[in-house]
Structures are given as C-alpha cells and as structure tokens.
Amino acid sequence: MSRVDQKLEEIEETIRNEVPAGISISDVTFEGPELVVYTRDPKQFAQDGDLVRRLASKLRKRITVRPDPDVLTRPEDAREQIESVIPEQAGVTDLDFHADTGEVVIEAEKPGLVIGRHGATMREITQEVGWTPEVVRTPPIESSTVANVRNFLKQERDERRDILERIGRQIHREEMSDDQWVRITTLGCCREVGRAAFIVSTPETRVLVDCGDKPGAEGEVPYLQVPEALGAGASSLDAVVLTHAHLDHSALIPLLFKYGYDGPIYTTEPTRDLMGLLTLDYLDVAAKEGRTPPYDSEMVREAIKHTIPIEYGDVTDISPDIKLTLHNAGHILGSSIAHFHIGDGLYNIAFSGDIHYEDTRLFNGAVNEFPRVETLVLESTYGGRNDYQTDQEDSERKLKEVINDTYEKGGKILIPAFAVGRSQEIMLVLEEAMREGDIPEMPVHLDGMIWEATAIHTTYPEYLRDDLRDRIFHEDENPFLAEQFNHIDGGEEERREVTDGDSAIILSTSGMVTGGPIMSWLEHLGSDADSKLVFVGYQAQGTLGRRIQNGWDEIPVGNGTGRSNTMKMRMDVETVDGFSGHADRQGLENFVKTMNPRPEKVLCVHGDESSVQDLSSALYHEYNLRTFAPKNLETFRFL
C-alpha cells in the first residue's frame, strides 16, 4: 500500500469517528489540494452546519462532501425542489446536474442569495435533494471568455477529475528528504521589466512562479532552459503559481505544456479567465504580424484545464512541504501576492507580483499582513528615486482638462490602455465625469479586448473595491453599462467612421503601442493636430510607446503588413501619471514600512536597473533590511 493510500485510510477512520452515528462514509479521496468525502447520507450531513467545518479544522484540509450517485434525487424532481428553496430574486439562470460527482452547478445573477447566510441555503438544498450545490455568477455583461471557459471545463470534467486526483496524490506523497533548505532562482524580470519567472525549490519540491514575456522585445523569454527550470524536464516541476494575467507574467504559461508539463497552475478564478483571453490574443497578434507563435491554442486549453483556482486567504497545500496563500495585490482583477509557507514553520516567502498599495477606483489596496515572512520578492517598476506619481485626484483633474481642451478644438482623445485594469479604471473616471458634468458627454469607443475584459470584471465583482461591487450588483447603477460606452467590433470601417465623426474618446489596446488596434488608430488620427494621444500607463523600454513618449514623431504604419512605411505624427502627446496599476516609489516604501511582520530580506525585481538599485539601497538605509537587486540567473539559498 502506498503512503497516500495509507494516509487516506487514516483520514477515513478519523472522519468515521467524528461524524454522528447513522452517517455513512463510502469513500475518501484527494482531488488537488481538497479532500473529497463521499457519503450515502448527504441530507443528514447537511443538517449539521458545523460538521464540515469541524472536520476541516481537525484534519487541516479543505473538504468537499459529495453524495454517492445512487442516492440522488432525479434531476427532473431535484430541479423543481431547488427552485422552490432559492429566493426568486437570486435570478437563477441555469441548473446543470453532474451525476458522476453528485454536484449541481447553479448559475445565478445574485449568488449570495443562493449561498444564504453562512451557507444556510446551500445546506437546505442538499437536505432537500441530496445534490451538492456549486454556485457561479451569471455575468451582468455577456462574456464569451467566461462562457467558453465554463463550457470547456464542463466538457472536460472527467479528464479534469483524473488530473485532480493525480495532483492530489502528488501533493500528499511522502516526503523523501531530511535536508532543509530553500532556494529562489531568478529566471527573468531582474533589472528589467517583463518576462517574470522564478523557481522556488526545496529538497522536496520545485515551483515556478509566473512565466511571462518581455513587452517590445521579441525573443527575450525567461531562462527556462537552465537546470533549475526546465533543463531537468518540465515534468520535474511540481506546481506553477501565477500572480496575475498580464502577459509579462502569464504569456508563456501555455508553453510549459508544449514542453511536457502536466501539473497544476494555482491562481485566482478571474486570473484563469483573463489568462485565457490574453494568451489567445497573444497568439492572434503574433499571427497577424507574421511571427511564429511559440505555442498553439490547444496549449492554452491545457493550461485552463490544469488550473486550480483558489480564493484570497485560503491556505492551500501544493506539495508535501509547501502551503500557498494568495492575497489581494490591488493591481488588476484577481492579481495576487503569493505567500509560501515552507516546511513545518521552516521558512516563508512572499512574491509581490505587481502591487498597488493604495485603494483605487477598482480595487482595495494590496494586503501586507502575513503570519510570517522571512523574504519578500518585491516588484520595483516605479522604484526609482524620482518615481513619484501624481495622486489620483490630481491625475483625474489633469485627464479631464486634456479631454475638455481637445473637445473644444474638435479633436479626438486616443488613449492606449491595457485591456485589463487601466481601461476599466479610466472607464470609471469618464463615466463619473460625464455624469457630473465635468466633461461633455461624448462616445467612448472601446477597441481591442477592452469590452470583453470589462465583462469579465463584472463577472467577479467580489474581487473589486467594496463600493464598486455594490454598484455592479444593482444593474441600473452598473457604471460599465453606461450608454456612452461603445464596443468597436466592426474593424477598419467602424474605425474610419469614428475618425470622420464628431469628438470622441477612444480607449484601445495595446497599452504600450506594441501592436494591435492602437496601430490602426495612430494611422487614422496621427496626422490630426487637433487630436491628442494620452498615455495613462507604464511604457517599458524598447516599446514604441516609450519612444513616442520620448519625442519620436515618425511612426510605422501598415497595420500588420510589414510596416515598411512611416508617418509623421502631428497629434499632441500627453502623459497623465497616477493611473498606473503599480505602486510608485512612496507606495513601495510604505508597503514595506507597514508590512507585518517586516521581512528580513528583500529582493528588488521587475524594474529597470536604476529603479531596482535605487529601491534596494533605500530600503537598506531606511529600514535596515538586507536587500538585493539580483541579476537574472542568480540563486539565493536560505537556511
């Protein structure tokens, strides 16, 4: 008998001793980090609201209880009974029964009413019909990405279950080494912005944190070929953790599956969906520009199939000696700080990913309280000594001034923006400014993936700032449904109509002017001296956005057909700081200064060379921390 089977037998025995007489336990198995308990008495199980909580506490495992398929109420009868239990105002839009696991997926406009206070309504459903309810939100704005991901996972349910059982056995395998050490190896984003990738390794486990590309630098990818990474084979990785979906962190996640990786990806649910959206677009842009994509769409589907979503604050076993907890990073939808608890209190590491420390219109600020942290790996995008951003109120005031000035001249405002995060932030500013009369009402055209990314935001309002979440729950107050927002989906003809029309605001991807529809808008509007190009986000070195920001006025045109021609740009260029999803220098210092507990060591990464060195030096001098500004391919050994 394997160690895992022996452990499952011991767990099953413990559960049998804990549950009241008359409740049967027919099977216990691992699915990923969760312990799944099968019973022929799901209704009795549901009567004791604290039973699962007590078992989870005793076993220190996340527990899901499922009924044996042969004790379930028929779906036709169960549907009627479930609908009678759930309040009508919950807005149930679909019930999907899965007899193999005894789960019923309930899609509703207001999931909270399906869950009930402390899960009371869900327990009542199980008491009535025996089925285990799983609740998902009906998107207020229809999202093809969310629909496609849900449908795909439904189709792949059997295979995904096999994957999760295999992963579960890997997580709970016996530890093989008595050695105790922890290492971090830097594979990218050191003294540069982009291609984020790190390996966390112990004698037992190897985890890859992020795997992105470098914007504006084709071919510069993380050093995956080295022995610490995939040099020993992709299958030697135990897990991948993705902090957020921006391509400089996620673009090459699917490539791992091309190289033979077959393990889990841990991230939040919205990050999973956004990863799918952005990586598929990444392939599309590469094809349109005549570049050979590094992988195909099948690898994106593999990545989604292997993703295990976890919620903020949930402590999750990802290997025999590592527990992972994700915390809000305040950067984009679903962005996380990844906290690793290694061994039995042996060592703790936090990877900031990208963070925004203060609250924004979209998100609550980054979490910086942890049980323990010995080493912090900290982004330094705006870590330079002069990288202080304008505060939000001043930034919004300047943006409104630029819009009013351009409107009076009869021009158009073109804003390159990341589809995820900055676009939604700007949309909220524009919606409020027009509603309150601070700027004239005019169309706001959303090009590229912005509308689809916005739909995903409305699917996961629980990840947004508290007051914004409440507005989205009320359809008539949902700011993203304001009538001035227009989704551009007609291609060049629709763009020409906007160009020839009255004053308007255009939000378009890509945010760093590295391809995509922004190139077409520059071709249409670049020669118009009355119009303005307004940068509201970070422009990395080597990108066309940075060059234009620095004064270039000869821009390539051709819209993906080789771009052999150039055009003299006559439109004004403005930069409005303060809308970045990154903390500025003061925000980064405050994040560390108020961090509880304060780390012993800080690795400053994900910033230009001067930025990481400036921040590293400041944290050392001001807070007496051991700080480093590592280069790529360095390994830090702890203990």
The model's pLDDT over 554-590, given as tens digits with 9 standing for 90+, comes to 888 775 444 568 889 999 999 998 888 899 999 999 9
- The answer to whether the annotation marks 354 as part of a ligand binding site is yes
Bridge partners, 308 (sequence order): 266
Q: Are residues 620 and 474 in the same domain?
A: no
514 vs 416: CA distance, rounded Å: 10
Averaged pLDDT for residues 445-455: 95
Start-to-end CA distance of the chain, whole Å, equals: 35
Q: Are residues 398 and 542 in the same domain?
A: yes
Domain end residue (candidates: 557, 575, 593): 575
Q: What percent of the chain has pLDDT over 70?
A: 98
pLDDT at 475: 67
Q: Are residues 370 and 493 in the same domain?
A: no
552 vs 43: CA distance, rounded Å: 69
User: Edge-to-edge, what's the strand order for the sheet holding 444-447?
Assistant: 485-487, 444-447, 505-508, 413-416, 532-535, 572-575
Q: For 69-127, give the DSSP string.
A: GGGPPPHHHHHHHHHHHS-GGG-EEEEEEETTTTEEEEEES-HHHHH-GGGHHHHHHHH
CATH number for position 511: 3.40.50.10890
132 vs 134: CA distance, rounded Å: 7
Q: Are 320 and 172 in contact (CB under 8 A)?
A: yes
Task: Give domain status of residue 176, yes or no.
Answer: no
Bridge partners, 66 (sequence order): 38
CATH number for position 343: 3.60.15.10
Which of 176-180, 252-256, 448-452, 563-567 is predicted least confidently? 563-567
Domain end residue (candidates: 575, 608, 629): 575
184 vs 207: CA distance, rounded Å: 10
Averaged pLDDT for residues 41-47: 88
Bridge partners, 183 (sequence order): 201, 637
The model's pLDDT over 478-533, given as tens digits with 9 standing for 90+, comes to 999 999 999 998 689 999 999 999 999 999 998 999 888 999 999 999 999 999 99
pLDDT at 220: 82
Q: What angle do CA 297, 291, 512 make, to 5 degrees?
A: 90
Q: Look up residue 444 and give its DSSP letter.
A: E
CA atoms within 13 A on the CB side of 407: 16
Task: Give domain status of residue 36, yes or no.
Answer: no
489 vs 495: CA distance, rounded Å: 9
Q: Are residues 434 and 363 in the same domain?
A: no
- The answer to whether the annotation marks 249 as part of a ligand binding site is yes
Which of 238-252, 395-409, 472-486 is predicted least confidently? 472-486
Task: Give domain status of residue 311, yes or no.
Answer: yes
Bridge partners, 185 (sequence order): 199, 635
Task: Give domain status of residue 62, yes or no.
Answer: no
Q: Are residues 569 and 601 in the same domain?
A: no
Q: Are residues 119 and 236 in the same domain?
A: no
What is the pTM assigned to this prediction? 0.92
504 vs 620: CA distance, rounded Å: 48
Task: Give domain status of residue 148, yes or no.
Answer: no
Collapsing DSSP to helix, strand or coil, 161 comes out as helix
- Tokens linked to 320: 């025999």
Q: What is the mean pLDDT of the chain?
A: 93
Task: Give domain status of residue 377, yes or no.
Answer: yes
Ramachandran angles phi, psi of 225, nearest 5°: -80, -10
- Tokens linked to 272: 């999973």
522 vs 573: CA distance, rounded Å: 12
Averaged pLDDT for residues 98-116: 92
pLDDT at 48: 83
Task: Give domain status of residue 24, yes or no.
Answer: no
Q: Are residues 254 and 325 in the same domain?
A: yes
Task: Give domain status of residue 48, yes or no.
Answer: no
pLDDT at 564: 61
pLDDT at 241: 98
15 vs 38: CA distance, rounded Å: 11
- The answer to whether the annotation marks 244 as part of a ligand binding site is yes
- Tokens linked to 103: 């789960």
Confidence of residue 334 (pLDDT cuts 50, 70, 90): very high
483 vs 486: CA distance, rounded Å: 8
- Choice between 448 and 379, residue whose per-residue pLDDT is larger: 379
- Tokens linked to 134: 């799983």
The model's pLDDT over 217-238, given as tens digits with 9 standing for 90+, comes to 777 899 999 988 887 788 899 9
Domain end residue (candidates: 522, 553, 575): 575
Q: Look up residue 294 and give its DSSP letter.
A: S
Q: Are residues 465 and 554 in the same domain?
A: yes
Q: Look up residue 144 and give its DSSP letter.
A: H
pLDDT at 542: 85
Averaged pLDDT for residues 312-338: 97
39 vs 45: CA distance, rounded Å: 8
- The answer to whether the annotation marks 339 as part of a ligand binding site is no
How many structural domains does the chain have?
3
520 vs 515: CA distance, rounded Å: 9
98 vs 183: CA distance, rounded Å: 43
Closest CA to 339 of 328, 353, 324: 324
Q: Are 32 and 264 in contact (CB under 8 A)?
A: yes
pLDDT at 538 over 90: no
Q: Could you tell me whether strands 336-342 and 347-351 are parallel, antiparallel, or unpaired per DSSP bridges? A: antiparallel
pLDDT at 46: 86
114 vs 304: CA distance, rounded Å: 26
pLDDT at 285 over 90: no
pLDDT at 70: 84
303 vs 451: CA distance, rounded Å: 23
45 vs 66: CA distance, rounded Å: 10
pLDDT at 286: 86
Q: Are residues 303 and 424 in the same domain?
A: no
Q: Are residues 409 and 457 in the same domain?
A: yes
Q: Are 102 and 131 in contact (CB under 8 A)?
A: yes
Closest CA to 92 of 105, 103, 101: 105
Q: Are residues 438 and 483 in the same domain?
A: yes
Q: Could you tell me whether strands 505-508 and 572-575 are parallel, antiparallel, or unpaired per DSSP bridges? A: unpaired
Q: Quote the domain boundaries for residue 524.
A: 392-575
- The answer to whether the annotation marks 524 as part of a ligand binding site is no
Confidence of residue 394 (pLDDT cuts 50, 70, 90): very high
222 vs 613: CA distance, rounded Å: 21
- The answer to whether the annotation marks 487 as part of a ligand binding site is no
pLDDT at 363: 96
Q: Are residues 372 and 398 in the same domain?
A: no
Q: Are 380 and 356 in contact (CB under 8 A)?
A: no
